[in-house]
Amino acid sequence: MALLYQSTKRSEGRARFDAAVMGGTAPDKGLFTPVSLPRIHPREIAAMRDETYPEIAYRVTRALLNVDIPDSKLHQIAQASYNFAVPIQGFEGGKYVMRLDQGPTLSFKDFGMRPMAHYMNYLNSANGGEKGFTILGATSGDTGSAAATAFHDLPGVNVVILFPEDGVVPLQRKQITTLRGNVTAIAIDGTFDDCQDMVKKAFADPDLKALNLSSANSMNVGRLLPQTIYYFYAFAKIGGSKMSFAIPSGNFGNATAAIMAKKMGLPVDKLIIAVNENDEFPLFLESGVYSPVPSSATKHCPSNAMDVGHPNNLARIAYFYGGTMDEKGRMEVMPDLAAMRQDIYTISVSNRRTGEVMQEAHAKYGLLLEPHGAVAWEGLERYAKATRIQSPIVALETANPAKFPEEFDRLHMRAPQHETLTKIGELHEGFLRQPNDYGIFKEFLRGQMRRTGVL
Ligand SMILES: *Cc1c(COP(=O)(O)O)cnc(C)c1O
């Protein structure tokens, strides 16, 4: 039986995988979420012990998607998406770090983005889509480079990424602007919010319908499903009877995937959700009152991919706990707070503490963390101390330390290097510059439609 998807706003309609993935968000502006999840039998989980990451990925996605995408294709996608290492480092007292920082863009976003690109490409061609589709997105960092890299060179796909001219660090910009091929990068003379507004207008613009615009943002359920895989992988490789995870969170896609893995039968003990100074979630869990923060008022932290004042996947977490949240963050039906508190331990980590943890983890364990991973590690340490827990805890390192040389400099630590980044530094950039003007951007898109023959 195929999994069905429902909007987090719980309107009547159910969608199948292709509509949920190609559509991005639900017609009522909620997020597509699986109505129920398949259970993976303990015997199957045990069999993962001797399997590679792509083999485990195949097992998990087969359980989730076997009617929507043929087996042989799922197998191929798993192999093509995960052609890099997923190291797990162990430390005293049952503490572990799983490094999700070895993909092509050195961020954990590769784990969801790469299979999603293949799913979309498959679904488009299976539906007779000779006209292809265009991935449109705005970025201030990791998401844009992971999306552009995942869709790079896929036939029939166009990628257009907007970024604020002065709002992206050079290394991250280069991860987008040096790809070329089917990827067009546009520097906008404006802020990230301006870029985001232009993208939203384009999605709503009937004149651009022929472009088949799709989004690769964290609301797309196609990114979420494959993020359940690494939780199974960690459990299979480390063993034990149950396991806790410390997850550095911004838009809470990663945390939502952990909740899904638990619903699929993974023996998850505690989910430790660690955030930076943007602490609306810990405050919510404590007080029961959710107060989202507008994006103009979010705090700037060294773990900048988590500078989020209203995590968009919180609507999915509320859904899984029986609640209903609208797109503005209002709780129409309160989720089961007692159950959430039972499953989730959450903390906010200050900017100062984040730097100290990077130093302490390195001095004490020889463990190299960047700011996002440090936030997770602090969650692990605090929870371990508070509970004297015996079962393993795995902290997720979501970006490669080599992406944060300024942070290491500031802390008087030696900045690590990575050859992917060294190589990118030598490549030639290619991008367009445009003013903050929707009319001009739209003309550009229509020009692209004429060139590719859809207009
Ligand atoms: C996106 C991102 C996060 C936050 O992940 P969510 O799923 O949005 O909570 C954490 N760390 C890094 C490095 C990221 O790029």
Give the per-residue SS3 of the chain. CCCCEEECCCCCCEECHHHHHHHCCCCCCCCEEECCCCCCCHHHHHHHHHCCHHHHHHHHHHHHHCCCCCHHHHHHHHHHHCCCCCCEEEEHHHEEEEECCCCCCCECHHHHHHHHHHHHHHHHHHCCCCCCEEEEEECCCHHHHHHHHHHCCCCCEEEEEEEECCCCCHHHHHHHHCCCCCEEEEEEECCHHHHHHHHHHHHHCHHHHHHCEECCCCCCHHHHHHHHHHHHHHHHHHCCCCEEEEEECCCCHHHHHHHHHHHCCCCEEEEEEEECCCCHHHHHHHHCCCCCCCHHHCCCCCCHHHCCCCCCCHHHHHHHCCCEECCCCCEEECCCHHHHHHHEEEEECCHHHHHHHHHHHHHHHCCCCCHHHHHHHHHHHHHHHHHCCCCCEEEEECECHHHCHHHHHHCCCCCCCCHHHHHHHHCCCCCEEEECCHHHHHHHHHHHHHHHCCC
| Residue 37 CA to its chain's centroid (Å) | 20
Residue 454 has pLDDT above 70, yes or no: no
Please state, in angstroms and rounded to a whole number, the distance separating the CA atoms of residues 420 and 435.
31
Please, are residues 64 and 38 in contact by the beta-carbon 8 Å criterion?
yes
Q: What token pair was written down for 280?
A: 């609306």
Lowest mean pLDDT among 79-88, 129-138, 387-396: 129-138
Atom number, ligand 1, closest to the C-alpha of residue 247: 9
| Among the listed residues 252, 220, 222, 260, the one whose alpha carbon sits nearest the alpha carbon of residue 36 | 260
Q: Are 154 and 121 in contact (CB under 8 A)?
A: yes
For ligand 1, the distance from its centroid to the CA atom of residue 247, given in whole angstroms, is 9
pLDDT per position as a tens digit, 193-208:
889 889 989 988 999 9
Atom of ligand 1 nearest to the CA of 218: 8
Task: Check: CB of residue 143 under 8 Å from CB of residue 137.
Answer: yes
- Reported as a single tens digit per residue, the pLDDT across 222-235 is 999 999 999 999 99
Distance 284 CA to ligand 1 centre (A): 20
The alpha carbon of 194 and the centre of ligand 1 are apart by a number of angstroms equal to 22
Give distance in angstroms: CA of 251 to centre of ligand 1. 7
Residue whose Cα lies nearest atom 11 of ligand 1: it is: 398
CB atoms within 10 A of CB 353: 17
Contact 255, 328 (CB under 8 A): no
Mean pLDDT taken over the chain: 93
- Evaluate if residue 337 carries a pLDDT over 90: yes
C-alpha 398 – ligand 1 centre gap (Å): 7
Q: Please give the distance, rounded to the nearest whole angstrom, from the Cα atom of residue 128 to the centre of ligand 1.
A: 34
Ligand 1 geometric centre to CA of 140 (Å):
13
Which residue's alpha carbon is at the smallest distance from atom 14 of ligand 1? Answer: 305
Q: Residue type at 186?
A: I
Question: Are the C-beta atoms of 274 and 347 separated by less than 8 Å?
Answer: yes
367: Cα within 13 Å, side-chain hemisphere: 28
How far is residue 187's CA from residue 77's CA, in Å, rounded to a whole number? 32
Q: What is the mean pLDDT of residues 89-98?
A: 96
Q: Given pLDDT bands bounded at 50, 70 and 90, which one contains residue 120?
A: very high
pLDDT > 90: percent of the chain: 79
- pLDDT over threshold 80, residue 427: yes
Average pLDDT over residues 94-117: 96
For residue 170, the model assigns a pLDDT of: 84
Tell me which of 101, 107, 278, 348 to substitute to probe ligand 1's pocket, judged by most ligand atoms within 8 Å of the beta carbon.
Answer: 107
For a ligand 1 pocket test, name from 105, 217, 251, 349 the mutation site with the most ligand atoms within 8 angstroms of its C-beta.
251
Q: Is the pLDDT of residue 335 over 60?
A: yes
Task: Out of 139, 142, 378, give the residue to mutate to test ligand 1, the one with the largest number of ligand atoms within 8 Å of its CB.
Answer: 142
pTM reported for the whole predicted model: 0.94
Tell me, in angstroms, the distance from the centre of ligand 1 to residue 54's CA: 22
> Distance from the CA of 230 to the center of ligand 1, in angstroms?
15
Predicted local confidence at residue 455, as pLDDT: 57
Task: For a ligand 1 pocket test, name from 113, 280, 372 the mutation site with the most ligand atoms within 8 angstroms of its C-beta.
Answer: 372
User: 136 alpha carbon to ligand 1 midpoint, in Å?
Assistant: 20
Q: Per this entry, what is the length of the chain?
A: 455
Identify the bridge partners of residue 396 per DSSP, sorted by sequence position.
Answer: 98
Task: Average the pLDDT over 163-178 and give the result.
Answer: 88
Pairing relationship of beta strands 393-397 and 14-15 according to DSSP bridges: unpaired
Counting ligand 1 atoms within 8 A of each CB, the residue from 398, 400, 404 with the most, and so the one to mutate, is: 398
CB-based contact 39:264 (threshold 8 Å): yes
- Asked if residue 413 has pLDDT above 80, the reply is yes
CA dihedral 33, 39, 44, 45 (to 10 degrees): 70
Ramachandran angles phi, psi of 390, nearest 5°: -100, -35
Measuring CA to CA, how many Å separate 99 from each of 70, 272, 399? 30, 17, 8
Number of other CB atoms surrounding residue 191 within 10 Å: 17
Q: Which residues line ligand 1 (CB under 6 A)?
A: 107-109, 142, 218, 248-254, 305-306, 372, 398-399
Which residues make beta-bridge pairs with 246? 272, 395
Integer Cα distance of 258 and 233 in angstroms: 12
pLDDT band at 129 (very low <50, low <70, confident <90, very high): low
pLDDT at 16: 95
- Other Cβ atoms within 10 Å of 403 Cβ, number: 25
Q: Is the pLDDT of residue 210 over 90?
A: no
Site to substitute for ligand 1 among 100, 102, 108, most atoms within 8 A of C-beta: 108
Half-sphere exposure (CA, 13 Å, Cβ side) for 370?
Answer: 27
pLDDT the model gives residue 17: 94
Task: Specify the residue with its C-alpha closest to ligand 1, atom 8.
Answer: 251
Whole-number Å distance, alpha carbon 304 to ligand 1 midpoint, is 9
Ligand 1 center to residue 451 CA distance, Å?
36
The closest-lying atom of ligand 1 relative to the alpha carbon of residue 251 is 8
How far away, in angstroms, is 248 Cα from ligand 1 center? 7
